[in-house]
Amino acid sequence: MTTVVFGLAVGTWLLAIGLFGSVLATVLLGYEYATGDQSFRRVSQGAAGVATGSFVIALLYLTSQFLSEDYTNAYVWDNTANYLPTLYKVTGVYASNAGSILLWAMLTAVVVTTTLLLDRYSTRGARLSQSLGMGVVTVFAWMLVNDSPFTPLSTAYPSVAANGIPQDGSGLNPLLVDPFMAIHPPITFSAYALMVVPFTVGVTHFVAKLRGTESVFDNWLGSMTRWLRGSWFLLTAAITLGGIWAYRVLGWGGFWSWDPVETSVLIPWLGLTAVLHTLNQYRRSGRYAVLAPAATAVLLPLAIYATTVVRSGVFRSVHSFAGGGIGSGVLFLLGTTTTLAVGPAFVHWFRTEQSDAEEAGLLDRATIYHAAVLGFILLAFVSLWGLTFPVVRSLASGVEVSVDARYYNLWSFPVVVGMLLAGGMYAQQERFSTRTTVGTAAAVLVASLVAGVVLARPEWQLASTEPFDPAYYRAIGSLSVVTVLPPAVYFAGAWIIRYVKRVRRLTGRHAKLNETGIVLIHVGAALLIVSVSFVYVFSTTASVGLVGATELDDPGERIVRDVEGSPYTVEVTDYSPENTPTMAEAAMTPAEAGSVDTSASTVLVKGEVTAIQRFEDTTIAQLNGSRVWVGADSGTVQFEEGSVVVARGTLSDPRSENIDALVYTNGDNFGSASDPPTEVYSPRVVDHRFDVQLYRDDTLVADGTVSEQSYRGRDMQTNDPLIERGITGDTYVVGTRTAGGLSIEISRYPLANQIWLGVAVMLLGMGLVFMFDPASGAAGGRNAGPRD
């Protein structure tokens, strides 16, 4: 039950305590930094601890409300329903704005408070960094108090609450009922939360430079690298889980469609990848003295920008489920964090004379490395700009322009090819002369271009273009996808050779594992790039309509159709709709029905007939020996003692001594528990299942079920495809119900599983680097072998 104290729900008070604690911590830490006075140390730690604790408790409290189906809370009522299993009750917590901000706030507060409680982060500069971190938490807390996930139903939906506490929730968005979606948001927000310390340290670094004080950046470099590697690992996993979800659940045939949300989450990922590269150089050679800390600080604003895209509703996308406007809070956070990340860094860069003592030549390793880093930034720009310019142009001229997959693919492709070449050269140059390296790279480039032009058969081209398309799109779009193959092979080969030569010289076990991690990340990336490119270009789709498929119910009956323009034949052998919950499951027990307000018009009840009374016009039957009875006009319904029945009818109070409630039913609304009157029942979910066999040139290639789910009160369907996985690719069958029956779409995704393999290899690699990097690995061990 939502308890209201002084006009606010208890949960909202918890958030208010969190707000108070984070404001106090922000101010005190700022004061400690400004004055160097340490006398409030305990108070600031306590305030941050209280803030963090109250967010943790608030999140647990909200989760418990979800689990106990507490529909006095509007947010719970909005995001769950009785029929959902426990897992999806829990995921309802972050199904909407307020809950996911609470999750993000809690994780951020935990990370910042951890640095505050550890002694090694207690220099004066650290105070500013922690003050900024708690400042971010403060903004979250402020947003949460204003848009609380604990708002009582009676405040948010007075008209719903007027009829008493609802018996059932309005449900969870069907798209989110999926195991991959259950873990995707917490992982994403964990990744984002880990970016907060790098952000504050990056900002503090430039403030310290401007004030001429000591910077914490170098001291924290090791731990920050660890935070960021952890973040990269989680973000990579989160993006992949999202892709798997889109592939399986949306049933729209694709794991990546350059949807605004997919694109926006790629931006912090690309930024993060660039930052890890710059930090690596900074640590070894001191290069990127401005870029490394500045880029580190920019990651958090990029993540917030990604969230703005997901949540704001400015950009329409498949993620619109979270829409509804997030208000000014996130925009404020975006503005301030961007200003803090860019402002001091820019002023510092502007005021200091850049002393570039080293003269790097065009083909030096440092230059090539730099080119690769710039490549990541360029890719991030392409994604960022693709999201942004339609808004810019629409605001400027009122003209609405579209950004399609072609924009992202064709601008990113040459950059990726260039980066593969640069990355390969960098690895090769470590053991070979510049002359050999340049010669190899040039040969690869020529091979790549020749393959791109010679093998440019129409179905191999990167994009289908028309004569009226812009010249750039025609030029790049007409290249063959094979263009990417020679650079990718060169890249992977160069990194493997570098690894083999390097690992022999290394002595420490940690150092060897670290090197293994690095090579796995790069080889996995090459595999990922090739398979993504090939899937994009070589995927094929054909569809066929099967009229009458929804009438298939006799065994042996089937519909067979050839799929035009493809080698496939489809056979549908059965149609069975399944209700969730079933009518018997949805029915109340007599005890529940007895406690319902009799003004509720229609109820559904299930119970065993324990007594029967016949009157002149009416027969009534007692259920489970309780004070709840079922009645009907005599002769319309056959009651039998001992049988379990399901009845639907109007509820009334007959004002009798022995009967509290009477459910008045009739023949259409009455049945046994094994054969309930499903015609009059509207379940929450109907799963329309079709048994499908797919033949390719008379060979069975896929056999299973395709299904479409429809939802009561929601104007949407979800589709579960039938996916036949194989080493050469996936055969993907999705069925959509149409007015006449079923429409089947068959797609072929070559190399689909190599994508997942590529990601798994990269994750394994990053896991090794995270743990065993001799300089800043989580497993410690600075004593392990030499670097470089």
Partner 1 sequence: MNARKTITIAFFLVVLGVGHYSMNAAPVIRDDAHTYQGGIEWETDPGTAFDAAQSQDKPVLVYYWATWCTYCERYDKNHYRNETVRAAMDEYVLLAVNVDDPGDGATLARQHQATYPPQHRIMTPEGETVESVEGYIGRDELLATLEKGSEEAT
Contact residues for partner 1, defined by CB under 8 A: 252-254, 257, 259, 316-318, 320, 356, 358-362, 364, 366-367, 370-371, 374, 377-378, 381-382, 385-386, 389-390, 392-393, 398-404, 407, 411, 464, 466, 468, 470, 472-473, 543-545, 564, 715-716, 736, 738-739, 743, 745
| Closest to 289 measured CA to CA, from 200, 198, 199, 206 | 206
Q: How far is the CB of 15 from partner 1 (least distance, A)?
A: 33
| Strand, coil or helix: 647 | strand
| Strand, coil or helix: 152 | strand
Q: How far is the CB of 435 from partner 1 (least distance, A)?
A: 17
Q: How far is the CB of 697 from partner 1 (least distance, A)?
A: 21
Q: How far is the CB of 535 from partner 1 (least distance, A)?
A: 16
Question: DSSP letters along 4-18, please?
Answer: EETTEEHHHHHHHHH
Q: How far is the CB of 408 from partner 1 (least distance, A)?
A: 10
Cβ proximity to partner 1: between 198 and 254 the closer is: 254
Cβ proximity to partner 1: between 93 and 410 the closer is: 410
Q: How far is the CB of 112 from partner 1 (least distance, A)?
A: 34
Cβ proximity to partner 1: between 5 and 399 the closer is: 399
Q: How far is the CB of 285 from partner 1 (least distance, A)?
A: 12
Cβ proximity to partner 1: between 219 and 736 the closer is: 736
φ/ψ (deg, to 5) at 36: 80, 0
DSSP secondary structure letter of residue 482? G
Please name the residue that has the structure tokens 């002393």.
355
Query: What spatial distance separates the first Cα and last Cα of the chain, rounded to whole Å?
Result: 62
Please name the residue that has the structure tokens 């079709």.
690
Cβ proximity to partner 1: between 358 and 585 the closer is: 358
Cβ proximity to partner 1: between 554 and 715 the closer is: 715
Query: Which tokens sit at 124?
Result: 């004066």
Cβ proximity to partner 1: between 400 and 617 the closer is: 400
Cβ proximity to partner 1: between 543 and 626 the closer is: 543
Q: How far is the CB of 518 from partner 1 (least distance, A)?
A: 23
| Strand, coil or helix: 243 | helix
Cβ proximity to partner 1: between 162 and 362 the closer is: 362
Cβ proximity to partner 1: between 167 and 566 the closer is: 566
Side chain identity, residue 206: F
Q: Is the dihedral of CA 432, 438, 440, 445 positive or negative?
A: positive
CA–CA distances in Å: residue 295 to residues 36, 187, 198: 28, 22, 10
Q: How far is the CB of 400 from partner 1 (least distance, A)?
A: 4
Cβ-contact 646, 677 below 8 angstroms = yes
Q: How far is the CB of 543 from partner 1 (least distance, A)?
A: 6
The widest CA-to-CA distance across the chain, in whole angstroms, is 108
Cβ proximity to partner 1: between 55 and 315 the closer is: 315
Question: DSSP letters along 747-775, please?
Answer: EEEETHHHHHHHHHHHHHHHHHHHHH-TT
Side chain identity, residue 513: L
Cβ-contact 760, 770 below 8 angstroms = no
Query: Which tokens sit at 337?
Result: 């964090």
Q: How far does Cα 294 stand from its chain's mean position?
A: 27
Q: How far is the CB of 375 from partner 1 (least distance, A)?
A: 9
Strands ordered across the beta sheet of 540-547: 540-547, 741-750, 729-738, 722-724
Cβ proximity to partner 1: between 402 and 507 the closer is: 402
Q: How far is the CB of 606 from partner 1 (least distance, A)?
A: 34
Question: DSSP letters along 519-585, please?
Answer: HHHHHHHHHHHHHHHHHHHH-EEEEEEEETGGG--STT--EEEE-TTSSEEEEEEEEEEEEES-HHH
Q: How far is the CB of 716 from partner 1 (least distance, A)?
A: 7
CA–CA distances in Å: residue 747 to residues 252, 331, 596: 11, 41, 51
Query: Which tokens sit at 398?
Result: 């009122």
Distance, in Å, from the CA atom of 454 to the CA atom of 486, rounded to the nearest integer, reads 14
Query: Which tokens sit at 462?
Result: 């990167």
HEC string of 207-223 equals HHHHHCCCCCCCCCHHH
Q: How far is the CB of 424 from partner 1 (least distance, A)?
A: 17
Q: How far is the CB of 317 from partner 1 (least distance, A)?
A: 5
Cβ proximity to partner 1: between 140 and 407 the closer is: 407
DSSP secondary structure letter of residue 779? T
Cβ proximity to partner 1: between 72 and 719 the closer is: 719
Cis (ω within 30 of 0) for the bond into 581?
yes
Distance, in Å, from the CA atom of 511 to the CA atom of 687, rounded to the nearest integer, reads 53
Cβ proximity to partner 1: between 287 and 512 the closer is: 287
Q: How far is the CB of 671 from partner 1 (least distance, A)?
A: 32
Side chain identity, residue 388: T
- The string over 373-406, giving b where at least 16 C-beta atoms fall within 10 Å of a residue's C-beta and e elsewhere, is bbbbbbbbbbbbebbeebeeeeeeeeeeeebeeb
Q: How far is the CB of 213 from partner 1 (least distance, A)?
A: 29
Cβ proximity to partner 1: between 211 and 393 the closer is: 393
Cβ proximity to partner 1: between 45 and 717 the closer is: 717
Beta bridge partners of 576: 689
Q: How far does Cα 381 stand from its chain's mean position?
A: 21
For residue 620, give the H/E element and its range.
Answer: strand 618-623
Cβ proximity to partner 1: between 350 and 468 the closer is: 468
Cβ-contact 588, 646 below 8 angstroms = no
Q: Where are the beta strands (DSSP E) in 638-787?
A: 644-652, 661-664, 670-672, 685-696, 699-711, 717-720, 722-724, 729-738, 741-750
| Closest to 280 measured CA to CA, from 334, 323, 222 | 222
Q: How far is the CB of 399 from partner 1 (least distance, A)?
A: 5
